Structure 1
Amino acid sequence: MAMHNSLCICLYPPLVLLFALNLTEFHDSKYKFLAKLEDDTGAVIVQTAPGKVVTHRGGSITLPCRFHHEPENTDPARIRIKWTKVTDALQFEDVFVALGRQQRVFGSYKGRVFLEQAGPGDASVIIQNVTLEDYGRFECEVTNDMEDDTGFVNLDLEGVVFPYYPREGRYKLNYHEGEDACKQQDAILASHSQLHKAWLEGLDWCNAGWLEDGSVQYPISHPRDQCGRKDTPAGVRNYGYRHKEDERYDAFCFTSKLNGKVYFLKRFKKVNYAEAIKACIRDGSAVAKVGQLYAAWKFQLLDRCEAGWLEDGSIRYPIVNPRSRCGGSQPGVRHLGFPDKKFRLYGVYCFRRNEDETAGGTETTKIPTNSMTKRKSSRRIPMNATSVI
């Protein structure tokens, strides 16, 4: 199984705007933007990056957003900047809000989200130490007294999708149990976009699994009768949205880079599950989770033709360079099932966290000339100058 990057584009309704364009640069030269928009309506106009910005877990990223307003001498203390996270169910999670010099960061974003402050009209925010849960769509809203406008930025993560089922067997997880199972393996439920990317690179899995939007799907690269008939085209098969409590399937999980390292613990003898746990602890580590092994296979290029215990009691091993004696002609993480924990003997894969590792440097999307998306809102919303909610 290999991975592939695809582009997700945000499309906005057509707008009728009369404006003149001048080009300038941020003082730190990190990316170019459209700086001057002449508009006789006095409306606030927000510009965001089309497509997506990409980083990885543990990294830092700028979500680009700029605004222009008339008149130019508007009191900066009256400008409110608000960022929210948008889910597929059109739920909005508060991320950050600023009103003049007052700022507030919400929930899990506290201590991680800051205004970029790259000059007048800059509403961009920097997210540090990006998490798996940060993946998705963000809304930038700028309000100037009675006028407001919004734009959207899609945050994508480099990562890997993997199918998962528990020791109890196939089709044993309702939606919430699938969500928990992915989290227990250092992952989250994958999105349709992430699963589609994985399919484009050859992911082929014959069992249907939950995705984060509550749908049930599965990717088929090589059609065959036991997987929805041989004469049907390859693609991501979709069962649609299923009952989250009553129906049971497998899960498709997504994970990204590790703050640490997975390694095969070299020992003179094979061990059972309990002995594997103790061996990793003695080595200053913990037994690796399934998601951690997949991340190590993807990003560390971990290649080991030796089966070993993982934290969930399964036996797996990662293959980057396929060879006949190591399970076939395709790269991937081989799964040998869930053996008896007391009496079956294998090696073990351990995970050691990088205690001193800090978040990576800020990755700023380079915005090509004439590529910022411009939107104008006709809504009029009164603003409370004393509130940052």
Structure 2
Amino acid sequence: KFSHLKYQLRVKIPHPGPIVAPLGSSISLPCSVSLSSVPATTSSAPIAPRVKWTVVSGGVETQILVARGQRVKVNEAYRDRAALLNYTSSPDDLSLWLGDLRSSDSAHYRCEVQQGLEDASDLVQLKVKGVVFHYRDALGRYAFSFSQAKRACEAIGARIATADQLLAAYYNGYEQCDAGWLADQTVRYPIQVPREGCYGDMDGQPGVRNYGTMNPDDLFDVYCYVEEVYGEVFHDSIPQHFSFDEAQSYCRAAGAELATTAQLYWAWSEGLDRCSPGWLSDGSVRYPIIVPRDRCGGPQAGVKTLYQFSNQTGFPEPTSLHDVYCFRGEFLAFQESVYTK
């Protein structure tokens, strides 16, 4: 003889704060459901729960997938990128797998279960960290061998990007018509709008153009990747401009150092917006733009670079005058706070 039970849903994401994952990686967002039963006044057969994952971004909630029983339907926008890891074998484990993470995946994710008239859900925040950027030698275009490309990224506080990281950046709109080394010794570049000399792939469609594995002595630019920087990039509004040497001295006097190119790209990815070209530690002059405007480098957001020549090569002369971007690491800031107490 079966007793009739009423189900009380409890949905739990056992993670107290934001889940952080690198660009181009995959992540499992944990979620579990439990049913605690109490006697019911009416008899009814148990109803298979309806499981739904949604993403909440910019005030808009978008369905990622929905499942009931053994049937799982994934939104076309997440095809091959989203799945319930263990649901078919463990129906109480609703963990969501997300692959090929992009910057735009940074958002809140809702795990929701409906059974009959009952409904329960929980939220978790995902932060996708990391930015891919193009880098070229101060002397000109296509000047790095494969080993030189890796060292060039390391010298500016980054590492050479992987193919997955470049692809993730492409899916978020990144475009660069310059062939660059990647960590697997391939040479590629991302194109959103195919055009003369920048076809993206061979049949004129947008995509990541791939030259394949190249001879390590061949010369190209490089795509670098920076994930996390511990400190702050700052730019002071000052009336005078500096030469490169004066910029170094200014940062030192502020208890800091000239920011690297990677640090500026990281600060840009975290929201830094300054329409003021400034010196960086490699002798380049750049500025970060979040909100595009005509007087600040045109209609595209990004880190803008001042080149010496019209073909976008050459860093400015060290005696030319510009603003400056400084970097104060967490260790330096901690030391300063201790010494000033």
- TM band (smaller chain): 0.5 to 0.7
2:278 to 285, 293, 308: 308
Q: Is the 8 A contact 1:191 1:211 kept in 2?
A: yes
Q: In the alignment, is residue 330 of structure 1 matched against residue 306 of structure 2? A: no
The C-alpha deviation readout for 1:51-99, integer Å capped at 9, x for no partner, is 6698x9xxxxxxxxxxxxxxxxxxxxxxxxxxxxxxxxxxxxxxxxxxx
DSSP-derived class of the 2:331 partner: coil
User: Could you tell me which amino acid in structure 1 is paired with residue 186 of structure 2?
Assistant: S
CA distance in structure 1 between the aligned counterparts of 2:129 and 2:139, rounded to whole angstroms: 31
Displacement after TM superposition at 1:265 (Å): 2.9
| Distance 1:9-1:213 versus aligned 2 partners, 3 A rule | farther
Give the Cα separation in 2 of the matches to 1:9 and 1:344: 46
TM-score w.r.t. structure 2 length?
0.59
Q: What corresponds to 2:317 in structure 1?
A: 340
State the alpha-carbon separation in 2 of the partners of residues 51 and 348 from structure 1.
39
The number of residues matched between the two structures is 226
Is 2:198 the partner of 1:237? no
1:294-305, aligned counterparts within 5 Å? 294-299=265-270, 301-305=271-275
Separation of aligned partners in 1, 2:129 and 2:329: 20
Alignment deviations for residues 135-166 of structure 1 (CA, whole Å, 9 cap, x no partner): xxxxxxxxxxxxxxxxxxxxx96210000001
1:353 maps to: 329
Aligned counterparts, 1:366-385, within 5 A: none
Deviations 1:315-371 (A, max 9, x none): 100000111111111110001121110x2100100000112899xxxxxxxxxxxxx
Aligned-partner Cα distance in 1 for 2:325–2:146 = 29
- Give the alignment's Cα RMSD to 1 decimal: 3.6
Is the Cα–Cα contact under 8 Å of residues 189 and 208 in structure 2 kept in the other structure?
yes
Paired residues of 1:265 and 1:280 also in contact (CA < 8 A): no
Supply the AA of the counterpart residue of 1:353: G
- Separation in 1 of the partners of 2:332 and 2:293? 37
| Mapped contact 1:314–1:336 kept (Cα < 8 A) | yes
Change (3 A) 1:276 1:6: closer
Matched, 1:182 2:132: no
Runs of 4+ that moved beyond 3 A: 4-10, 48-54, 228-231
Q: Which residue identity is paired with 2:215?
A: H
Could you say what secondary structure the match of 2:133 adopts?
A: strand
Contact 1:164 1:253 in 2 (8 A): yes
User: Identity over the aligned pairs, expressed in percent?
Assistant: 38
CA contact (8 A) 1:259 1:357 kept: no
Cα drift, residue 228 of structure 1: 3.5
**SS of equivalent to 1:317:** strand
SS at 2:169 equivalent: helix
Counterpart position of 2:225: 254
Relative to structure 1, the CA distance from residue 259 to residue 196 in structure 2 (aligned partners, 3 Å threshold; closer, same or farther) is same
CA separation of 1:199 and 1:281: change in aligned 2, threshold 3 A: same
Q: Partner letter of residue 194 of structure 2?
A: P
Q: 5 Å matches for 1:1-389?
A: 8=26, 158-228=129-199, 232-244=204-216, 246-299=217-270, 301-337=271-307, 338-341=315-318, 343-355=319-331
| SS in structure 1 of the partner of residue 208 of structure 2 | strand
SS in 1 for 2:295: helix
C-alpha distance in 2, partners of 1:214/1:159? 21
SS at match of 2:300: coil
Q: Distance in 1 between matches of 2:327 and 2:241?
A: 18
SS in 2 for 1:227: coil
Aligned to 1:372: none
Letter in 1 for 2:289: I
TM-score, with normalisation over the residues of structure 1? 0.52
Of structures 1 and 2, the one with the larger relative CO (CA 8 A, separation 6+) is 1
User: In the alignment, residue 281 of structure 2 is paired with which amino acid?
Assistant: E
Aligned with 1:265: secondary structure?
Answer: coil
Counterpart amino acid of 1:348?
V
Per the alignment, in what secondary structure is the counterpart of residue 140 of structure 2? coil
**Does the CA contact (< 8 Å) of 1:203 and 1:219 recur in 2?**
yes
Q: SS at the partner of 2:325?
A: strand
Give the aligned residue type for 2:213. Answer: Y
**Paired residue type of 1:233:** Q
CA distance in structure 1 between the aligned counterparts of 2:204 and 2:99, rounded to whole angstroms: 32
- Measure how far apart 1:50 and its partner are: 5.9
